[in-house]
Amino acid sequence: MLSMLGVGWLLPLLLIAVVITGQVYRSLNEQIKRTITITTEKAVEICTLRLSDCITQSKDISYNGQLRSIYEQYLRDGNEADLYSSTTSLLEEKYKFNEDYRLTGLYYTDMPDRFYFTGSTYLAGSQRFFSTYGKQAVRNASETIDTDTVLVKAENRIYLVRNVMDHSFHPYAVLFMELNDTRIFESLQSVWQCTGFEVFCGEKLLFDENGPDTAVAEAGALTDKEIRFLGDDIVLHRMDLGSNRMTYAVRYDREAVKQEVRAPADLFGLMLVFMIPLIVLLIHFFNRRISVPVEELAAASEEITKGNYGITVPVHKENGELTNLDQNFNEMSMKLKDQFEKIYLEEIALRDANIHALQSQINPHFLNNTLEIINWEARMGGNEKVAEMIEALSVMMGATLNREKRDIIPLREELEYVKAYLFIIKCRYGDSFSCKTEVRNPEAMDYMVPRLIIQPIIENAVEHGRNSSNDGFVSLVIEGGKHANDDLRIIVTNQGEPSEESMKKIHALLNDSTEEQVHASQIGIRNVNRRLKMLYSDASGLTIEPDGHGNTISTIIVKKSQAQQFKL
């Protein structure tokens, strides 16, 4: 009986357990490799996109003709001061506020020892670290690349080097950029269970973040866009960038992989202990705890390969290592979605299109009133006052036209526009209008804010904040921004409390829930609210509420933790 029990039940159960365990082990290993492959491919793709953006932006100075005009002017007049000023200003205009560069520099080939720099606002002064060795490395690279772009490393810093050609395709200048390597390659951290990585250009090591210390020669046989596993804890991926052969080596946690495949063996060991009375329960347990989560992960991985980033799987709580796998997969998927949306939607679409379109809608109707006042003053013969009004009007027109194409300006400059506008309003209404301005934290004056976000609110307060005697008073208070996570608050208070019906219209206007024709002054406050939310997410924006004492308070909130603002 014991022999028959062993042959008829124990041995088949053992064989079944071994077969099923092997299948689950292979399935999990394949799934884990698929997850590592997908996350590596997407992470490398993001790195390539950012490097491509840097190369594309380096070409701009070569093709727009401004630098060539500056250099030709210098050849005509020999004015070195003008050459320095014009070259530095052009570099700042093109590259100063880009987070992808720590340092941008240029030198003319006939003056190889005279360098012109601009530093990122985040890491200004990086030129202090541009040593003689770095200069020589840039010069050596420029002599071999012709019209191409090359990546070189000098003293643990990565430089993108490009020759600037004249009409005869002879280099007359060399442009080089120190890349913000931490930002460029940060997406590699999103590879599943990543513990470190290395980036190679050809045979040379460009960047090392606790990398696997592997020789790039191991990846010599890789072709473009090929991915390969090296051992049981390293994945290699090659993604060429122009003439630069880029190879990425990522180490993942070997123990974490082993833990993922350990659960099935434990479960089948338990099945053998309970034997026949528990076989049905164990099959059900296996299906619910292993098969279903793995199938969900496989289906979700297939969706990601189709481009459906952000897809998540249900997290099966108390499911051992597979719970961690579900959570890590969901976190990886959402991180990939956020990174792609940030690159393609926010930075390109919103900032280059919607923000400019909304800013262009700022209603300049008060300029017509101002011109009428100036005309009247001129007829009455007050030249000094007229001159002051013309100067204020000039400031406002410059702010509205935005000839320098700057969407983000210091708060100090924004308040200059407000000051000019209030001067004009004071001339219009005389002693019947007064305004008080208070800056509670002087450091806030150096924080960067969107252009023309205060003037439309002041205009709205002036228009709707007059009492029955036609007198008006507006208060402007700047507070916050003093601590690292302290929000910047701009508060405008005016006389007069809106009716309940008016408040409903204001809320509908700020929530974009109305399609009715709106007044010209209302377009300004709606656009201010829209631009703040586009730039800094829904946590920032504009609110307009009565204070219960006969006044109306308009508050602009800029969330520093989400705006990633910086001081000048």
- The pLDDT score that the predictor gives to residue 562 is 44
| CA–CA dist 234, 464 (Å, integer) | 66
Measured N-to-C along each axis, helices 520-536 and 455-464 cross at an angle, to the nearest 10 degrees, of 150
DSSP tally for the chain: helices H, then strands E? 18, 17
- pLDDT tens track for 483-541: 656 788 899 988 888 888 888 888 888 887 665 555 655 677 888 888 888 777 777 88
Domains of the chain with CATH codes: 11-63+258-359 (no CATH), 64-183 (3.30.450), 361-563 (3.30.565.10)
CA 515 to chain centre: 32
Pick out the chain residues at pLDDT < 50: 1-2, 121-125, 349, 353, 357, 360-364, 562-568
Q: Which letter does DSSP use for residue 210 in this model?
A: S
What DSSP string runs through 165-199? E-TTS-EEEEEEEEE-HHHHTGGGGGSTTEEEEEE
CA atoms within 13 A on the CB side of 232: 6
| CA–CA dist 367, 395 (Å, integer) | 11
Determine contact, residues 58/160, Cβ cutoff 8 Å.
Answer: yes
Provide the 3-class DSSP secondary structure of residue 163: strand
- The pLDDT score that the predictor gives to residue 564 is 44
For residue 372, CA distances in Å to 377, 378, 391, 523 come to 9, 10, 15, 23
Residue type, 232: D
- The pLDDT score that the predictor gives to residue 43 is 92
For residue 393, CA distances in Å to 163, 279, 457 come to 45, 87, 18
Provide the 3-class DSSP secondary structure of residue 519: coil
| CA–CA dist 489, 260 (Å, integer) | 49
* Beta pairing class for 149-154 and 116-119: unpaired
- The pLDDT score that the predictor gives to residue 482 is 63
For residue 486, CA distances in Å to 369, 449, 530, 565 come to 39, 15, 22, 12
Q: Which of 69, 73, 116 is nearest to 95 (CA)?
A: 116
Q: Which letter does DSSP use for residue 162 in this model?
A: E
The neighbour count for residue 249, using CB atoms within 10 Å, is 25
Give Cβ neighbours of residue 238 (< 8 Å, ≥ 6 apart): 219, 222, 223, 224, 225, 226, 227, 245, 246, 247, 248
* Beta pairing class for 551-558 and 234-238: unpaired
What DSSP string runs through 324-362? HHHHHHHHHHHHHHHHHHIIIIIIIIIIIIIHHHHHTT-
- The pLDDT score that the predictor gives to residue 563 is 42
Locate 149 and state its tokens: 């772009």
- pLDDT tens track for 196-221: 888 888 888 888 888 776 655 565 66
Give Cβ neighbours of residue 133 (< 8 Å, ≥ 6 apart): 154, 155
Provide the 3-class DSSP secondary structure of residue 246: strand
Strands lying side by side in the sheet with 472-480: 433-439, 472-480, 488-495, 551-558, 541-546
